[in-house]
Structures are given as C-alpha cells and as structure tokens.
Amino acid sequence: MFKGRWLLASLGCLLVIGCCTCVVHAKDEGAVERQEKRAKRVTVFEYPVVRMAKVSDDYAYKQVGDEALNLYVFQPDRKVEGEKRPAIIFFFGGGWKSGSPGQFWKQCEYLAARGMVAITVDYRVKKRHGVAAVECVYDANDAMRWVREHAKMLGIDETRIAAGGGSSGGHLGAATAIFGHWVPNQKIDEVEAASLADLLVLYNPVMATYPVGETAYEFDRDMLLERMGTERLEDLSPFDHVRSGLPATLMMFGKKDVMLLEWAEAYTEKAKGMGNDVTLLTWEGRGHGFFNYQRSAYKMFYETTLAVDAFLVKHGYLKGEADEALLKAMDWRKKKDAQ
C-alpha cells in the first residue's frame, strides 16, 4: 500500500435532517431549522450535479451506451457576437473512481466573470461505470476534441484552450496536453491535435502513476495496473511522456501532500530539463485537496484562485487585475445559505 493517502475521498457526507415531533421546545425548533438549512445547502461535490450556479449551457459531448456524458459551460456575462474568448476545461478528482464536475463550479464561475469560457466535465469513473483510468483518459480527450470542434458555437478561441483539474482530474488535464488519446505504442507525432490542450492549470495532480523521485514508496503494482487498465504503469504516466514543446504548466500543492508533491517535483525537473515552462507553487501546512471550495479553508480557495488568475494573465488568457471583490463574495462562511 502507499504511504499516505493520495486519492480524494469519494463523495462528501450527506447531511441528514432530524425528525421533528408535533410539539417541540423553542430551542429544539432552532436546532431543526439549522439542520434544514444545512441540508438544503448544495455542495460542489454532489452527484448528479444539481443547481450549479450560473451555468449558461450543458451539452452531451459523448454517448456511451444509454448514457450521455455532459459538459457544463459558464459563459462571460458580456458575451459579444463573433468574439473569440480563451477557454479552460476542468476535470474533477476522485482517484478515477468517483467525484463530481461540481468540484470546479466556483472556479468556473470566477473565471467566466473574468472573461473566459469556463467548462467543467463529467466523465466515466469506476464506481459509477466500472471503468479503469484509461477510459477516463479517453473521455477527457473526447471532451477536449468536442470543445475544439464546437469552438465557434461556444465563442472560443481554438488556439487558447487550457485544461485543468485536481488530483486524478489533474492527471486527465495533463494527459490532454502530454499524450492525448493514448493508444499502445503511440508516437507523439501521431496524436490527434484536436485533443491537445494549449495550457495547463493543475491542482495537486497525479504526475506519475507509480513512485518516482528520491523516496522509494511501497506500492501494490497489481492494484495500480488494475486501476490504470493498461499493460504497463508507464503507459498513462505523464512523467514517462515528457517531451519538449509542452504547454506552459501551473501546478499547486500543499506541502503535506508529500508523495504526490515529490512526484510533481521529479516531473518538473525532467520537463524543465527539456525546455518546458513549469511553475510549481506550494502552500505550507496544507495537504491533498487543500484548494477545494467548501472542504478547506476559504483562504486556500482564495489564494489558489488568485494564483491561477495571475498565471492566466501572464499567458494572455486574462487581462487586468484579479477580481478580489468577487472572490471575497464567494466566501461560504459569510453566505452559508447561498446557492
């Protein structure tokens, strides 16, 4: 087994409303009312996604049997006819086993307000669909391909489409830029350009699918091979597909996320050695998933979103100053019953 847990927990705990009797004391009524308010509050980790705020449209990008896989598009408020805007596509985390596209709903809401087309994607996972990570990679690349093919309809500049995600979703975002729609023995010059991202924004991503770096972490190879669904662990490992000419990349980690951070550091050294632009930011005292809205300190959501904003400005995806007022308005501690 790995030392430490590097997979996100599956779904958040459901809140249960306590039963009321016909006659209760005023104190009990207040407790019940508070429970009801908490139960009505939708979290970003719910699945299926419900009441996702400010979604402009949702589209089925892929049909698998009887099920349609959707992506959710957040458009800027001031959309101008014929204008092409940069875009970002987010993939949720959950160890390729679970999770919800709602995870990045607040990041999408913020970036759309800043002028980007922001998209969060649903894809198949093990617990809901019985698939391995390789199918998740296929879905991520199909989503990227669909967005490029419909860029004109969505008002997107097809030369500025970033991919993002957290943990295993960060792995999928990286996959869309590094090795695309993976097939055995594929050469990079055979990768379909339509599935490749132009920029990467990754939150504590899985940058290797087996231990790399200085620490010899113990691991169950057979378990990981089953999780990946490929013949070799290297097949879906970003570390093993590094090449020159990759998109500029931002990675953000809590320093307590020691194993994945070490793998990301090994990836960064290798990628920079090939001339790639990689920015690795860390936060002291924070662990895996430290950036998540509603599951961590609001300060971490605030700071990581500002870091993403600065990175996107640097690379011409956003302009001007970050909207700190909007970010502060998203503080769930101040608006516990909002949305």
String of DSSP letters for 101-131:
GGGGHHHHHHHHHTT-EEEEE----HHHH--
Determine the Cα–Cα distance for residues 128 and 145; give it in Å rounded to an integer. 23
Residue 56 CA to residue 26 CA, distance in Å, equals 43
- Alpha-carbon distance of 328 to 162, in angstroms, equals 25
Contact 126, 132 (CB under 8 A): yes
**pLDDT at 208 (0 to 100):** 96
Confidence (pLDDT) at 34: 47
What pLDDT shows up at residue 7? 34
Per-residue pLDDT tens digits of the chain, which is 339 residues long: 434 333 333 323 322 223 333 333 444 555 545 444 444 456 889 998 877 878 889 999 999 999 999 999 999 987 677 789 999 999 999 999 999 999 999 999 999 999 999 999 999 999 999 999 999 999 999 999 999 999 999 999 999 999 999 999 999 999 999 987 666 655 555 556 667 899 999 999 999 999 998 888 888 999 999 999 999 999 999 999 999 999 999 999 999 999 999 999 999 999 999 999 999 999 999 999 999 998 888 999 999 999 999 999 999 999 999 999 999 999 988 755 444
Residue 42 has what pLDDT?
60
Please state the pTM of the whole predicted model.
0.85
pLDDT for 189? 54
Residue 198 near residue 262, CB atoms below 8 Å: no
Of 3.40.50.300, 3.50.50.60, 3.40.50.1820, 2.160.10.10, the CATH number of 53-329 is 3.40.50.1820
CA-to-CA separations, 141 to 137, 174, 191, in angstroms, rounded: 6, 10, 11
Return the domain boundaries, the chain: 15-44, 53-329
Return all residues near 167 (Cβ < 8 A) that are at least 6 apart: 6, 7, 8, 93, 94, 95, 203, 204, 205, 206, 260, 288, 289
Task: Please list, in sequence order, all residues whose beta carbon lies within 8 angstroms of the beta carbon of residue 104, skipping any fewer than 6 positions away.
Answer: 44, 90, 92, 120, 164, 165, 166
